[in-house]
């Protein structure tokens, strides 16, 4: 598979909230960096996503939205064999949203770092 195909599989997994699909697109040393949860290893990712789903359900009346996540404003750049993707993401029906920075090679998704969009109290 190409880096772009791995990215597509990864993105589809997020829209469905499907940990197995997300992990199918990743490499063995994949990491997911969430400022609220810290750096998540591939082996701990399913547990992380299940916790996120619990949070989402609590914010949306006890059920998960369908789709689980919407991705937009995807921008990609390829350099030195690495595909870098930036995107805007949001969980429908909640205030949970932000952006992601994803690194992908022809062997799979290597990492993602996310940020959350929040209003500054003032």
7-24 pLDDT per residue, tens: 999 999 999 999 999 999
**Beta-sheet pairing, 108-116 with 26-34:** parallel
Give the residue-averaged pLDDT of 45-62.
95
**To the nearest whole percent, how much of the chain has pLDDT over 70?**
98
Q: With cut-offs at 50, 70 and 90, classify the pLDDT of residue 118.
A: confident
Smallest CA-to-CA distance from 25 within 101, 104, 89, 90 is with 104
pTM for the model = 0.94
pLDDT of 7: 98
Q: Does the pLDDT value for residue 121 go beyond 90? A: no
pLDDT of 44: 98
Q: Is 84 left (phi over 0), alpha (psi -120 to 50) or beta?
A: beta
Residues 6+ apart with CB under 8 A from 79: none
pLDDT of 119: 74
């Amino acid at each position: 598979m190409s880096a772009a195909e791995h990215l597509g599989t990864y993105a589809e997994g997020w829209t469905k909230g499907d940990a197995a699909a997300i992990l199918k697109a990743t490499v063995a040393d994949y990491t997911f960096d969430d400022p609220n949860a810290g750096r998540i290893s591939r082996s701990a990712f399913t547990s992380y996503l299940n916790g996120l789903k619990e949070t989402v359900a609590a914010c949306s009346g006890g059920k998960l939205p369908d789709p689980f996540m919407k991705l937009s404003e995807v921008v990609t750049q390829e350099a030195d064999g690495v595909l870098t993707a930036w995107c805007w993401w949001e969980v429908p029906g909640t205030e949970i949203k932000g952006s992601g920075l994803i690194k992908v090679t022809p062997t799979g998704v290597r990492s993602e770092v996310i940020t959350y969009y929040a209003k500054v109290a003032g």
